[in-house]
Amino acid sequence: MKFNLKKYKIGVSLIILALMVSSCKKYLVEKDNSNFVKSNYFTTGSQAQTFVNGIYSQLHLFQNGDAYGESPFITIELFAGHATSLGQSVNNSNVINQRTDAVNPGFEDVWQNSYNAIANANLAIANIPSINMDAALKKKLLGEVYFLRAFFYYHLVRLYGDVPLITTPVTVDSPDLYPARNTVAQVYPQIITDLQTAEASGMPEIDQTGRISLGAVRTLLASVYLTTAGYPMQVTANYALAAAEAQKVLTDYNLFTDYAFLHDNAHKNQGELIFQGQYLVGVSTNAIPQLTVPFNLPVGAYGDHLGAMIPTNQFFNSYETGDLRTKEREFYFSSYPQYGDTTKTVVFGEHCLYKYFHVESALGNGQSDENWTFLRLPEAMLIFAEASNEVSGPTTDAYTQINKIRARAQLPALSGLSQDQFRQAIWKERYHELAYENKAYFDIQRTHMIYDVINNKFGDAMSTPNEQGVTMKSQYLLWPIPQREINTNKKLTQNTGW
């Protein structure tokens, strides 16, 4: 593994990294007035706050993109098999057709940037406790850092499997400078411990400024428990823990009355949005809309229209008849007024993702500061329903949660299902409600089942072809360890099949 000392040792270079653009509107524009140098950082509360703000900025790694339509959030979604890529990316095409390899730059970007964030989190956890500052703020900041470290490890362990588990700052003399991989069974307990520590940190139940809240902690912990109850851990006792954690947030948030609120500027961090990565024009922008609009068609003020993630027609058609989410400009759209001449209509020829269309930037200067949503209420609702069903079969409370989501979509309520029927109904609802939000691939990993949208049923992930005629290879349940990391760190081994 290529551990760059500039990322890990205590010094000016790491401080510069930590002072990069932070992730909430309030502190995205915060100026560095702390004059951090090697001899005086981590001495005041304001320095601690600024350092933690810098760790938030690493959340942007999943939305990094390029002129070919490659971005980690696109790659994760393409692995699930329900999207095509109409842009120029050879790497995206190789992912869709399962012929990519360990030198795919996206694999390296996620690995390096995640460990970059973890390195900063380890420094904060090691140094903030000794600062003479407001005790409540100190506890809250540490809670945020523990959440962030857990968040990045949770992505690493699901994407790469066994990964190095580093929880202290690394120096030139540290044995963790070139670490071996820890097992999944060793990594998950650390993630859970970090989230439990964050849960006890005194942060608010809800935070509408973009900072981490108890709602975010509990939803992520519920997701971790649900994942560890499935493959590869199969700790089935964790279903009950997942239901208990998810239940804690169900009354703290409310479903939006309009799906457009999921992707506009006015409703950032509000309503059902539990945890988002923050963006602000003039400070930090993203390419989310450009990546998801139809390829090379003038539907906004963007310099690029990349068509990098386009839903398959078969997936779109898998929604129930009358589902509001399939109506034009709800979750999807197939036409739009031409940019520069709204008297004309651009017809796409496919259904694109309106749930990521950013009207403000499309009609403005093409600079998008659309937030990326990591966690929202429907996920917590469905975790609760699925986990409680695994414990005791369908319950009134479980039906209530899934039927609230269906009612918003103008679908009839479910009732009278067996445990297996209810399980599959929840899985299907996850696919349809959380569509293209980087949930489907992780669901395949933990259930070893895929949604066969053509036949509207679930099948074994390694023997059921998706709508594009591709059958998942077992090696694709994990990403490869980036080849450059293996070349640099001889202790690292490659995942099977790569």
DSSP of 21-32? --SSHHHHT---
In order, the DSSP letters of 29-70 are T----S---TTTSSSSHHHHHHHHHHHHGGGGGGG---TT--
Range 241-259 average pLDDT = 98
Domain boundary among 337, 368, 399: 368
97 found inside a domain: yes
Residues 6+ apart with CB under 8 A from 330: 259, 324, 354, 355
How far apart are the C-alpha atoms of 412 and 484, rounded to whole Å? 52
How far apart are the C-alpha atoms of 68 and 90, rounded to whole Å? 8
Task: Name the residue range of residue 313's domain.
Answer: 287-368
* pLDDT one-digit tens code per residue, 100-126: 999 988 899 999 999 999 999 999 999
Phi-psi region of 256 (alpha: psi -120 to 50; beta: other; left: phi over 0): beta
- Count CB-CB contacts under 10 A for residue 98: 15
In order, the DSSP letters of 288-347 are HHHHHSPTT--SSS-S------EE-HHHHHTSPTT-GGGSBTTTEEEEEEETTEEEEEEE
80 found inside a domain: yes
- Quick one: pLDDT band at residue 65, thresholds 50, 70, 90? low
150 found inside a domain: yes
**Which helix (H) or strand (E) is 375 found in, with range?**
strand 372-376
Q: Which amino acid is present at 392?
A: S
Question: Running DSSP on this structure, what letter comes out for residue 370?
Answer: P
373 found inside a domain: no
Q: What's the pLDDT score for residue 448?
A: 98
Among 259, 433, 292, 276, residue whose Cα is nearest residue 361: 292
Domain boundary among 144, 161, 178: 161
Q: What's the pLDDT score for residue 7?
A: 34
Would you state the structure tokens that stand for residue 315, as one six-digit string? 């997936």
Residues 6+ apart with CB under 8 A from 14: 6, 7, 8, 119, 120, 123
191 found inside a domain: no
Pairing of strands 310-311, 83-84: antiparallel
Per the CB < 8 A criterion, the answer to whether 497 and 481 are in contact is: no
Own/partner pairs, 439-444, CB within 8 angstroms, 24+ separation: 439/379, 440/77, 440/80, 440/82, 441/76, 441/77, 441/79, 441/80, 442/158, 442/227, 444/80, 444/472, 444/477
Same domain, yes or no, for 11 and 151?
yes
How far apart are the C-alpha atoms of 95 and 87, rounded to whole Å? 13
- Quick one: pLDDT band at residue 15, thresholds 50, 70, 90? very low
Range 55-65 average pLDDT = 90
Domain boundary among 342, 368, 394: 368
Task: Inform me whether the pLDDT recorded for 491 exceeds 90.
Answer: yes
How far apart are the C-alpha atoms of 99 and 91, rounded to whole Å? 9
- Count CB-CB contacts under 10 A for residue 268: 23
Task: Inform me whether the pLDDT recorded for 22 exceeds 60.
Answer: no
352 found inside a domain: yes
Same domain, yes or no, for 156 and 293?
no
291 phi, psi to nearest 5 deg: -70, -25
* pLDDT one-digit tens code per residue, 311-342: 999 999 999 999 999 999 999 999 999 999 99
Task: Inform me whether the pLDDT recorded for 172 exceeds 80.
Answer: yes
- The percentage of the chain sitting over the pLDDT mark of 70, rounded to a whole number, equals 91
13 or 72, which is more confident: 72
pTM higher than 0.85:
yes
Same domain, yes or no, for 156 and 291?
no
How far apart are the C-alpha atoms of 412 and 370, rounded to whole Å? 32
Same domain, yes or no, for 157 and 293?
no
391 found inside a domain: no
157 found inside a domain: yes
Q: Which amino acid is present at 33?
A: N
- Quick one: pLDDT band at residue 39, thresholds 50, 70, 90? low
How far apart are the C-alpha atoms of 95 and 78, rounded to whole Å? 7
Question: Running DSSP on this structure, what letter comes out for residue 286?
Answer: B
Would you state the structure tokens that stand for residue 52, as one six-digit string? 């933690």
Number of domains in the chain: 2
Range 157-177 average pLDDT = 93
12 or 454, which is more confident: 454
